[in-house]
Chains A and B, each alone.
Chain A
């Protein structure tokens, strides 16, 4: 599936053992934690470089995480 949205950083899993600053995609309707398939779930420089941009991503939605196969600037 494909999504389009703005990339931001946001604290997720508040108060848990996975509390962290995650890179999220805010779409028109919802917000998803982003992860590149095969990448580090907690810190990925490729995602950090996308913060502040509006992008198109292709991949799989798994719960509240969007697993990215490919991405491009929108």
Chain B
């Protein structure tokens, strides 16, 4: 018997849920899941719950069940099996990292203090289990996570998030046109550029200091935040010199609107930490979702951006919000943001790889915060009525939800193709091929550091994997790809003289044929 079409799959771990919530999983959370499935049905979407640990459920899908809920490998293999069997348009991971873990990807620049970049990116990719980020440059799936609170056994929080998803409705784009933009003062120019690119104006940029919370305009539905953040910390910070005043705090979010969408560049901005580590205060991400936010895009770890202009975190966060504003679901906006980011890279360098891995969507990925524009005359006509009546009048649907749903399969196929193509076109540093630099290139990089008065901290070398598109190619294209050689990276510390805080200079050198391309990157 053919498996019925499934639009959205909710995956979770039943045993882990029962261990966390006891009988309240069955009495409180399961009914809320059922209510979401029923609500999706009224929205024209078939949603199915899959328990990754259920041998019966997973056997039916020819997938290996999860026997150790904490195992990233088992969870990746199980979710891949579910996806291959059902090919849903949306994959919603239900629960925090103590229910379904992030994938523990290795950070290629672990000297920054993060040995791993916890990530849901691998769940969005067809590539098999690995800890290497560069194995996941071809995202093709629409994935998000509806998290509960790590370590917190009360069911109310997750029931609330499920209810938010069940009652969510799209709003006109005008409801998202005004924004709350918050920036550390040291990054105000970069944030201004991001806001201009996303909203077409910078009039509402709040700069910390001197600006400070609580924010009178917190009720606006579009939030873009570029501040400092720290691990297991319910606050973000501004910066001026050696002053780091609080810029945003989980305890000061009263007035948030339901259906808010937040794009957050801050380090650890979407870390799902146990509130026991912070005097019982849940993180800003968890608090946004509790207030009814429809999507929160943020980082699990330390994030990167250039000294001036936009790069890494600035870009992927802009891309996410821009796609949401055009009417994409939060999940589709996440996939498109990842693809947009990868598309910009000719060679994915270490900080690029970490950026791609660390930014995750928190929220039901099927929610469309913004209504899609409907063009005059556009309509969906069922095959039966069109064939039988020869007219579009009888049962034509011209609403944006119907149009969106009807075109979803083709949109997903297009996105999957884009993911394969874009990912196969980018070369990447090979994080398993790393060593100390030697010879003339080492001397050159050390010379570049000296020119800037920077004290050497590290000079290392990464092998480069050519684009996989050329893996079976021949001739000049392949030769060009394989001549990329290595990426050499020198890290030096600049004199503090006129800077308000210590700063680093990173010199990146790439040899292409007989030429050496050198880039100078400055730390935030």
Considering the chains assembled together, what is the distance between the CA atoms of A41 and B503 in angstroms? 19
CB atoms of B502 and A19 under 8 A apart: yes
Considering the chains assembled together, what is the distance between the CA atoms of A56 and B265 in angstroms? 35
Least distance between A1 CB and chain B CB atoms (Å): 13
Interface of A is mostly: loop
CB atoms of A41 and B237 under 8 A apart: yes
* A contact residues around B237 at 8 Å (CB): 40-42
CB atoms of B267 and A13 under 8 A apart: yes
CB atoms of B304 and A62 under 8 A apart: no
* B contact residues around A67 at 8 Å (CB): 232, 277-278
CB atoms of A16 and B231 under 8 A apart: no
Does A60 interact with chain B (Cβ within 8 Å)?
A: yes
Considering the chains assembled together, what is the distance between the CA atoms of A67 and B278 in angstroms? 8
* Residue of B whose beta carbon sits closest to that of A21: B502
CB atoms of A15 and B113 under 8 A apart: no
* B contact residues around A15 at 8 Å (CB): 109, 112, 304, 351, 491, 504, 506, 521, 523-524
Q: With A41-B230, A43-B243 as known contacts, state yes or no: A17 contacts B266, CB within 8 Å.
A: yes
CB atoms of B232 and A65 under 8 A apart: yes
* B contact residues around A65 at 8 Å (CB): 230-232
* A contact residues around B266 at 8 Å (CB): 17
B76-118 contact mask (Cβ, 8 Å, vs A): 1 or 0: 0000000000000000000000000000000001011110000
Considering the chains assembled together, what is the distance between the CA atoms of A18 and B277 in angstroms? 20
Considering the chains assembled together, what is the distance between the CA atoms of A40 and B230 in angstroms? 9
Q: B314-364: which residues lie under 8 A (CB-CB) from chain A?
A: 351
Considering the chains assembled together, what is the distance between the CA atoms of A64 and B113 in angstroms? 7
Considering the chains assembled together, what is the distance between the CA atoms of A42 and B227 in angstroms? 12
A10-34 contact mask (Cβ, 8 Å, vs B): 1 or 0: 0111111111110000000000010
Considering the chains assembled together, what is the distance between the CA atoms of A60 and B113 in angstroms? 17
Least distance between B324 CB and chain A CB atoms (Å): 22
Least distance between A9 CB and chain B CB atoms (Å): 10
* Residue of B whose beta carbon sits closest to that of A65: B231
* Tally of A interface residues using CB under 8 Å: 25
Q: With A38-B278, A40-B246 as known contacts, state yes or no: A14 contacts B230, CB within 8 Å.
A: no
Q: B125-160: which residues lie under 8 A (CB-CB) from chain A?
A: none
B236-259 contact mask (Cβ, 8 Å, vs A): 1 or 0: 010100111010000000000000
Considering the chains assembled together, what is the distance between the CA atoms of A10 and B510 in angstroms? 31
Does B305 interact with chain A (Cβ within 8 Å)?
A: yes
Residue among A15, A19, A60, A63 facing the most chain B CB atoms (10 A cut-off): A15
Does A8 interact with chain B (Cβ within 8 Å)?
A: no
B456-467 contact mask (Cβ, 8 Å, vs A): 1 or 0: 010000000000
Residue among B229, B231, B493 facing the most chain A CB atoms (10 A cut-off): B231
* Tally of B interface residues using CB under 8 Å: 44
CB atoms of A17 and B524 under 8 A apart: yes
CB atoms of B313 and A17 under 8 A apart: yes
Considering the chains assembled together, what is the distance between the CA atoms of A40 and B278 in angstroms? 11
* B contact residues around A33 at 8 Å (CB): 113
* A contact residues around B277 at 8 Å (CB): 37, 60, 62, 67
Considering the chains assembled together, what is the distance between the CA atoms of A65 and B244 in angstroms? 18
Does B486 interact with chain A (Cβ within 8 Å)?
A: no
* Residue of A whose beta carbon sits closest to that of B226: A17
Considering the chains assembled together, what is the distance between the CA atoms of A64 and B115 in angstroms? 9
Q: With A37-B278, A41-B235, A63-B231 as known contacts, state yes or no: A17 contacts B304, CB within 8 Å.
A: yes
CB atoms of A16 and B112 under 8 A apart: yes
Considering the chains assembled together, what is the distance between the CA atoms of A13 and B266 in angstroms? 13
Does B206 interact with chain A (Cβ within 8 Å)?
A: no
CB atoms of B493 and A11 under 8 A apart: yes
B203-234 contact mask (Cβ, 8 Å, vs A): 1 or 0: 00000000000000000000000001111110
CB atoms of B233 and A41 under 8 A apart: yes
CB atoms of B524 and A62 under 8 A apart: no
* B contact residues around A20 at 8 Å (CB): 228, 244, 501-502
* A contact residues around B229 at 8 Å (CB): 18, 41
CB atoms of A12 and B113 under 8 A apart: yes
* A contact residues around B187 at 8 Å (CB): 17
* Residue of A whose beta carbon sits closest to that of B236: A41
* A contact residues around B524 at 8 Å (CB): 15-19
Cross-interface CB contact of A63 among B114, B276, B457, cutoff 8 Å? B114
* Residue of A whose beta carbon sits closest to that of B350: A15
Considering the chains assembled together, what is the distance between the CA atoms of A17 and B503 in angstroms? 11
CB atoms of A17 and B113 under 8 A apart: no
B491-524 contact mask (Cβ, 8 Å, vs A): 1 or 0: 1010000000111101000000000000001011
CB atoms of B233 and A19 under 8 A apart: no
* Residue of A whose beta carbon sits closest to that of B303: A17
A–B pairs, 28, beta carbons within 8 Å? A11-B493, A11-B502, A13-B267, A15-B109, A15-B304, A15-B504, A15-B506, A17-B303, A17-B304, A18-B302, A19-B501, A19-B503, A19-B523, A20-B244, A20-B502, A21-B242, A21-B502, A35-B233, A41-B237, A41-B244, A42-B237, A43-B244, A60-B277, A62-B232, A62-B273, A64-B113, A65-B230, A67-B278
Interface residues of B (CB under 8 A from A): 109, 111-114, 187, 228-233, 235, 237, 239, 242-244, 246, 265-267, 273, 276-279, 302-305, 313, 351, 457, 491, 493, 501-504, 506, 521, 523-524
Question: What 6 A-B pairs have minimum CB-CB distances, sorted nearest first?
Answer: A41-B230, A42-B244, A15-B523, A18-B267, A16-B302, A17-B524
